[in-house]
Amino acid sequence: MVKKAIAAGLCVVFLSVAVTVFAEDVYRTENGKKYHKEDCRLIQNRNTQKIDKEGAVKEGLEPCGRCFKQETSSAVSKDTKQVASSKKSKNSAK
């Protein structure tokens, strides 16, 4: 019983450390609608607030096109594929 309690405690500690280590901090401006990486030139010399990426997404912020090129380009390609497939289905229905 003691071994199980110790194992459970170690699991909780490990998971909490893992979540803390892998949480990505991003930055937003006061009235901005996007989140940025710390070194983004679009927020240099501006008053910014540091928040975690998950919180930024929950607030409805979008990734900066310069800082997060991979994320924005993959989101655009998914949207483009969805639009193309919906156009094909509309054309085939005619």
Is 28 a member of any domain?
yes
Q: Please name the helix (run of DSSP H) or strand (run of DSSP E) that holds residue 59, with its range, or none.
A: none
- For residue 34, being part of any structural domain is answered with yes
**What's the structural domain count of the chain?**
1
Per-residue model confidence (pLDDT) at position 58: 94
- The answer for residues whose C-beta is within 8 angstroms of residue 65's C-beta and 6 or more apart is 34, 72
Model confidence, pTM: 0.54
Q: Model confidence at 61, in pLDDT bands (50, 70, 90)?
A: very high
Which pLDDT value is given to residue 11?
A: 63
pLDDT digits over 24-48, tens only?
899 999 989 999 999 999 999 999 9
Whether residue 42 is contained in a domain is answered as yes
- Residue 90 belongs to some domain of the structure: no
Task: Kindly state the tokens that stand for 40.
Answer: 């983004």
* 38-68 residues labelled b (16+ CB within 10 A) or e (exposed): eebeebeeeebeebebeebeeeebebbeebb
